[in-house]
Amino acid sequence: MRVGFIGLGSQGAPMARRIIEAGHPTTLWARRSATLEPFGGTSAEAAASPAELASASDLVCLCVVGDADVEEVVTGDTGVLAGLGKGGVIAVHSTVHPDTCRRMAARAAERGVALVDAPVSGGGPAAAEGRLLVMVGGDTDTVERCRPVFASYGDPVVHLGDLGAGQVAKLLNNLLFTAQLGTAAGLLELGRGLGIDATRLAGVLSHGSAASFALTRVAAAGATLDAMGERAGPLLQKDVRLLADIADAAGVPAGVVLDAADAALEVMGHRR
């Protein structure tokens, strides 16, 4: 399968490298030429536009930041749909609203192109090691066509259901993670108030039933959410807001998890 990849950031770049190393003919596009420089010694080709990239691809993977970026790259005058041939597939690895994927899928279908949503979790190190969690929504046959490419950087690759299911799962994941960050930071602060060193307490808890990935991240950040608020806060705020909107539209109460996530965001200086 010929693969095009757009979005060579801290997570997208190692994903693209895994695709190349797996032997798939790969084309890359980036707004900044400097982003392409690390791939100079590989077999990947560089395209002058998303449309040119798409014309050389069977599958185009997008790992850009947000909804507006996805729409621009897919539907712009020199976007992916301007070059991707009939039977092609677009995989949205970005974390966006499910409705954005559905809207783009409708536009793609007019040109005989399929779209799946396949957000990922794990970060750059997991991508480099081929162990990203890939959460996929879309038509079963289309997902299976893409699976060999997804498997080059993902383990497990989980098909969750119809288009949009992957995005909902990713947003639920990030909602729970945000809530756990706040709970972990609050607990370490409580321990500090009771006379226990927060770093030592985190080390103890990481070996007990209270262990969690969120706890390790808070401990690594100095047992507070201050530094994390600057770096991850805006993205977590975006994802919590998206999930809250989806739950509200569905008439499903988000409950205490959303309350805990809101509290964590407030500590990080990012109100929903």
Residues 21 and 111 in one domain: yes
Task: Tell me which of 115, 138, 162 is where a domain ends.
Answer: 162
Task: For residue 129, name the pLDDT band (cuts at 50, 70, 90).
Answer: very high
Catalytic residue among 170, 184, 202, 229: 170
Read off the pLDDT of residues 191-212 as tens digits, 9 standing for 90 and up. Answer: 999 999 999 999 999 999 999 9
Question: What is the extent of the structural domain holding 259?
Answer: 168-267
Residues 15 and 130 in one domain: yes
CATH number of the domain to which 76 belongs: 3.40.50.720
- Is the preceding omega at residue 98 within 30 degrees of 0, hence cis? no
Is residue 170 among the annotated active site residues?
yes
Alpha helices by DSSP H, the chain = 12-21, 50-55, 67-75, 98-109, 123-128, 140-150, 165-193, 198-205, 213-220, 226-231, 233-250, 255-267
Read off the pLDDT of residues 4-15 as tens digits, 9 standing for 90 and up. Answer: 999 999 999 999
Residue 74: which residues within 8 A CB-CB, separation 6 or more?
50, 62, 80, 81, 90, 104, 107, 108
Task: Tell me which of 137, 162, 187 is where a domain ends.
Answer: 162
Among candidate residues 93, 87, 29, 99, the one with its CA nearest the CA of residue 59 = 87
The average confidence (pLDDT) of the chain is 96
Residues 93 and 225 in one domain: no
